[in-house]
Chain A
Amino acid sequence: DAGVIQSPRHEVTEMGQEVTLRCKPISGHDYLFWYRQTMMRGLELLIYFNNNVPIDDSGMPEDRFSAKMPNASFSTLKIQPSEPRDSAVYFCASSSSGHAATNEKLFFGSGTQLSVL
């Protein structure tokens, strides 16, 4: 398996532009998570999906952020309009179950480094 695949690896854009980050989870995984990582705040959960349905989006900072999962093999995180404070590394992760008792674990992609100028 190729693991969780994210694109692009790096994105540089200007303030006000729309940014779309993409994620392909591991086949068969039914949970998908979007995280944002900064030095100050560490890894913050933005939203997660179960079977393509958004379950908890309480971490989405504001209406400028939106996420979709149209099918089991693809998800997007969109920022419109982007702002300099959105600059961070965005990670996608997937797992085969959300319940720790089954010894599941998160598999992370390599992340997208976003810079908003």
Chain B
Amino acid sequence: EDQVTQSPEALRLQEGESSSLNCSYTVSGLRGLFWYRQDPGKGPEFLFTLYSAGEEKEKERLKATLTKKESFLHITAPKPEDSATYLCAVQAMVGTYKYIFGTGTRLKVLA
């Protein structure tokens, strides 16, 4: 069964304190791995897509990396406005085009 597990569930950082969020996945052939950001009361917003092991994507203070079993979202020198829930999702090669999401990491960056 295709599955996505994210850790930690919650993370509190001081402003400027870099850290990483983990997304482990089990999928029958990976079509793509996606990172989304979700603010309270809103729908998830797309950040990155990764397709193959070794690939990296960057956007401002965020960098996403991918291996054959997991992905990391690295946050460098975070600011309070980076506080949000970060969701990871996978789409499998085999079967339908559905996206399977993890339960997310709730990030709080303190000023």
Contact = CB atoms under 8 A, between A and B. Distances in A.
Interface of A: 4, 31, 33, 35, 41-45, 48, 50, 55-56, 59, 91, 93, 98-101, 103, 105-111
Contacts, number: 64
A45 B20 CA distance: 27
B103 A42 contact: yes
Contacts of B45: 108
Contact of A91 (B34, B43, B96): B43
Interface residues of B, number: 24
Interface of B: 31-32, 34, 36, 41-46, 49, 51, 87, 89, 91, 96-104
Contacts of B98: 33, 45, 48, 56, 59
Chain B contact residues: helix, strand, loop or mixed = strand
A55 B36 CA distance: 24
B49 A42 contact: no
A105 B97 CA distance: 12
Given A42-B101, A43-B89, A105-B49, 16 more contacts: A42-B103, A45-B99, A56-B98, A91-B43, A99-B31, A99-B97, A100-B34, A101-B31, A103-B49, A105-B46, A106-B36, A106-B44, A106-B46, A106-B99, A110-B43, A111-B41
